[in-house]
Structure 1
Amino acid sequence: MTRWRRPHPITGELVYVAVVLPLGVAGSTWFLYQIFSDEWPPSPFVAWPIFLVCAWLGGGWRMSRAGVFISDEGIRIRTIFRTRTLPWSSVARIDSWPTRASGFPRQTEAIWVLTRDNKPIETPLVSAQKRWGSSAPRVALTNADYHQALQTLREAHLRALGSGTAPDQPERQSDTSGN
């Protein structure tokens, strides 16, 4: 069985979501009890609050699980809407580039994974130093934690490939508009 671990510390935001989520479950349970206890069978309008509560709980759960995970087999990139697992053999390099929103680069730095077929994949790991300006839920790391996570990811990639030298790392790109 593969053991996945985070190359970055758990942030205060992730802890906050983990604390608020159980409170939300308790509040939602009470709310739904109040709806169902007054009238049985409930009216068709009850479906809307149930949907909202389930969406809120599901989103909170996914936010608490966001981040990057590594194992001997590969790298797992988990965002609020999607989880991607890539074997190390399909990863060309790991780099730090500006985040993108609506196709435009932002000032916030994020860790990107470039696959062997030149497909860039943005991870949710961003430097908290310039975090604002991004609309997607992110895992904001301090500058030191961000660079440590980037270094840990690069080292894990090298270990998995069995190489002692870094693959060609082009100079940092300030604009990833071609990606």
Structure 2
Amino acid sequence: MPLPFLTVDRTFEAASDSALPYDDRERWRRPYRPGPWRVAVAALCLMLASFVLFAAVLIALTGSASSAGTVFAIALVIIVGALRLLRMGVWVSGRGVRQVGFLHTRTVPWERVVTVRTLQQPVRWLGLPRTVQGQALTLVRRDRGAQDAPPLLTTHGLDFLARVSAFDRAAGAVQVWAAEYARG
């Protein structure tokens, strides 16, 4: 079963003649691969969901249908959570930059973007309250500036923990999109 949200277009990695080698620039795409930590957590959630689904079948065979339905609904919530976890990240298109979180999605049109830059600053480790020194890709907007803007990407997130070169490639890709479309 193909999972398009896990793939990244290989044309971006292979192309050297054009900064934006895509034919359809209006389609939202993530310019980097999901990190191994994100994929591992999602895989563990899906494995847990398979056990919960198995329990739902056993409860349906031996117990009440309402209890089985409740356990089945719990399994569906776990599956949806795992898929949403895989979808999280930064997505770009010709229309703007989109930051997909677990419970919310924030889209900023390129017309509102002044610049996208990499800064050395304290960043959250794996999204937890603990902060460590690292790099963050930040977005400066025309209407808000740089105040209170959460970083788009960090070196200590689920996608780039212990993968600084992957962070540099992803930050460079987002900066190229911003340089192309945020003019004016």
Please classify the TM superposition score into its range, dividing by the shorter chain length: 0.5 to 0.7
Following superposition, the deviation at residue 50 of structure 1 comes to: 4.7
Q: CA RMSD in A?
A: 3.1
Structure 1: runs of 5 or more not aligned: 132-136, 164-179
Alignment of 1:139 with 2:137, yes or no, is: no
String of CA shifts for 1:6-63, please: whole Å, max 9, x gaps. 22233223443554455444333212111222123435x973x455434322221111
User: Which TM-score applies when normalising by structure 2?
Assistant: 0.66
Instruction: Name structure 2 gaps, 5 residues minimum.
Output: 1-23
8 Å contact kept, 1:66–1:139: no
Equivalent position of 1:171 in the other structure: none
User: What's the counterpart of residue 81 of structure 1?
Assistant: 103
Query: Residue in 1 aligned with 2:33?
Result: 9
Q: Which runs of 4+ in 1 moved over 6 A?
A: 101-104
Query: Alpha-carbon deviation of 1:74?
Result: 0.6
SS in 1 for 2:151: strand
**Counterpart contact for 1:109–1:126, Cα < 8 Å:** yes
Number of residue pairs matched? 152
Q: 1:41 to 1:162 in 2, by over 3 A?
A: closer
Q: Distance in 2 between matches of 1:154 and 1:88?
A: 12
TM (norm. structure 1) is 0.67
2:179 aligns with 158
Contact 1:5 1:69 in 2 (8 A): yes
Give percent identity, aligned residues only.
21
When residues 112 and 104 of structure 1 are mapped into structure 2, their CA distance, relative to the original with a 3 A threshold, is: farther
CA contact (8 A) 2:115 2:139 kept: yes
Hey, which of these two has a bigger chunk of strand by percent?
1
